[in-house]
Structure 1
Amino acid sequence: MTEHPQYANGPGPAWPLPPVVDRAAHQAEIEALRVREKAHTREGDAIAAARRRLPMVEVPADLELTGPDGPLTLLDAFEGRRQLIAYYFMWHEGHDAAGQCEGCTWVTTQVQDLSFLHSRDITYAVFCQGPYEESRRYRDFMGWEVPWYSALPSVDELLVGRRVGMMHLVCYLRDGDRVYETYWTTLRGVEQMDYSYALIDLTAYGRQELWEDSPPGWPQERDAPPEHPMRLGGRPISQWPRIEAGRSDDLTPP
């Protein structure tokens, strides 16, 4: 069994604590914060409304992807549904599993059951920016079951005007046999796929990363060099349960 560092720090140096107050004082602070939270929610709704009013740009429906049965088109990836959300997975060709993108691994791990998306006529798929066979072995190691394709045959056209090799989340709409791109985002925009940080942000110590605005003395070392906040022991954090389960992370051809 491969040894790995502990997921949690466990007992260690004492961390500073928030001030202790009575229930009434605590509730008053919660209610004051709730006003800002509701404003944040309403602003998010307004941004989503603006997103629904964006124009769109046509994309060639016959752009080639590679899937389990060989070549297919962008239109095929819709699986007959009206909309498609594609996550463009970064890929480091020739690297082992530990050398693959920790951010892409983090967000892809969190998209699992697709039934609710399907009920809204939306297909979700990963468009890997690397070769199909090599990246598929990584998908199998991770145990992901979402549709997985290589965008390598057409990635320059699919991401025209954007930085190829970076994580992207792109929304498409089809009208018959014609395909249109309606929205895209990258970097922290892909946190839309995440629930872990959303939950962590509710806690007293937050993400514990250097950029956060936290009280003096709060733990903030999760992204301190040389480790990345989404890595532990030299590999993406989400890989450790797979290693523990005895799965091989060897990506070389059999």
Structure 2
Amino acid sequence: MTATAGNGKSGQAMQRPPVVSQEAWDAAHRQLLAKEKAHTRARDALAAERRRMPWMAVERQYAFEAPQGRLSLHDLFEGRHQLIVYRAFFEPGVFGWPEHACRGCSMVADQVAHVAHLNARDTTLVFASRAPQADIARLKEQMGWTMPWVTITDDFDKDFGVDEWHGTNVFYRDGERIFRTYFVNNRGDEQMGGTWNYLDITPLGRQEVWEDSPAGYPQTATYKWWNWHDSYVADAEPDKKWVEVSDAGEAAFREESAKARS
């Protein structure tokens, strides 16, 4: 079938898929769903392998400027164990300066989920650029962004592969020691922004009991920690109704996993 609108610049008509009956559509959807489920299981297995990737000790000291003053890499964790740092290009020489940050980096910023959900999983997300803090504050207000955003003052970007291109580095803090655990850039950055995608690149993962994680890693009951972003309270008891809903969801998840293994 040929489309009557939406032709491309090539002048060729857009070739649409066939239009079929409800039964045929359901059959096609079931076929595709099976492949999508396989893709999800493969993605989970890859995340499990990522959690077993070796760590690299961070030996150098790094300094950043923030609204509250000068901060170290250790400070960026805000007391949590995991830190995700996205290198966003906003500085002199970048297209759009000084009114805007890089278009691609701005798209990433636009799709970042509320950081409270990451914080609830012992994880801090920070954006880092070379622009002065005054410019970053102005840009965040202009664009409606709320994530922490610091100014790089040394070789942090060069040392972690983000001096000439965007990228996301993940770190883990064990007391005073800091380790680099993961890095992704290029098209790998396209999926960043959602809570689950961020957690899947961290060494601790989503921290739910269904995950394949090394022994001793923190894990809690599936779904039970989820909350409204303004309602996370340490050691708070989940609402009884939500426990019932999440129990039903967890049972369905177990049933589906059992079928996939059979």
TM-score (norm 1): 0.66
Q: Quote the offset at 1:135 in angstroms.
A: 2.9
Q: CA deviation at 1:103?
A: 0.8
**What is the deviation of 1:83?**
0.6
| 1:147 to 1:161, Cα distance in 2 relative to 1, 3 A | closer
Displacement of 1:182 in angstroms is: 0.3
1: CA distance, partners of 2:138 / 2:106: 14
Query: Of the two structures, which has the highest relative contact order with CA contacts closer than 8 Å and spacing of 6 or more?
Result: 1
The one-character-per-residue Cα deviations of 1:89-109 (angstroms, maximum 9, x if unpaired) are 0124162325x3111000111
* Aligned twin of 1:142: 143
**Aligned residue type for 1:57:** M
Q: Structure 1 counterpart of 2:177, which letter?
A: R
Instruction: State the partner residue of 2:229.
Output: none
> Residue 112 of structure 1 contacts residue 144 of structure 1 at CA under 8 Å; is this kept in 2?
no
Aligned residue type for 1:135? I
2:83 maps to: 84
- 2:98 corresponds, among 96, 99, 108, to 96
Aligned partners of 2:62 and 2:79: how far apart in 1? 16
Q: Shift in Å at residue 12 of structure 1?
A: 6.0
Q: C-alpha deviations, 1:154-185, integer Å up to 9, x for none?
A: 2x245426251311111110000111110011
**Is residue 112–residue 146 contact of structure 1 (8 Å, CA) maintained in 2?**
no
In structure 2, what is the Cα distance between the partners aligned to 1:171 and 1:76?
A: 15
- The answer to whether the 8 A contact 1:61-1:75 is kept is no
Amino acid at match of 1:40: H
- State how many pairs are aligned: 183
Tell me, yes or no, if the aligned pair for 1:61 and 1:177 is still in contact at 8 Å: no
Kindly report which structure 2 residues correspond to 1:1-254, keeping only aligned pairs within 5 A, or say none.
Answer: 15-60=14-59, 62-93=61-92, 95-98=97-100, 100-151=101-152, 153-154=153-154, 156-160=155-159, 162-194=161-193
| Distance in structure 2 (CA, Å) of the matches to 1:161 and 1:115 | 26
Deviation at 1:32, TM superposition (A): 1.2
What is the rounded CA distance, in whole Å, between the counterparts of 2:159 and 2:85 in structure 1? Answer: 15
> Which residue in 2 is equivalent to 1:229?
none
Aligned AA (1:23): Q
**Residues of 2 paired with 1:12 and 1:49: CA distance?**
42
Q: How many angstroms apart in 2 are the aligned matches of 1:157 and 1:117?
A: 23
Runs of 4+ residues deviating >4 angstroms: 11-16
Residue 134 of structure 1 deviates from its aligned partner by 2.4
Change (3 A) 1:186 1:53: same
CA contact (8 A) 1:61 1:179 kept: no
In structure 1, distance between residues paired with 2:158 and 2:115: 24
TM norm structure 2? 0.64
SS in 2 for 1:54: coil
Q: CA deviation at 1:62?
A: 3.5
**Aligned mates of 1:173, 1:12 — CA distance in 2:** 48
SS where residue 80 of structure 2 aligns?
coil
User: In 1, Cα distance between the equivalents of 2:126 and 2:45?
Assistant: 27
- CA-CA distance at 1:33 after TM superposition: 1.1
Identity %: 37
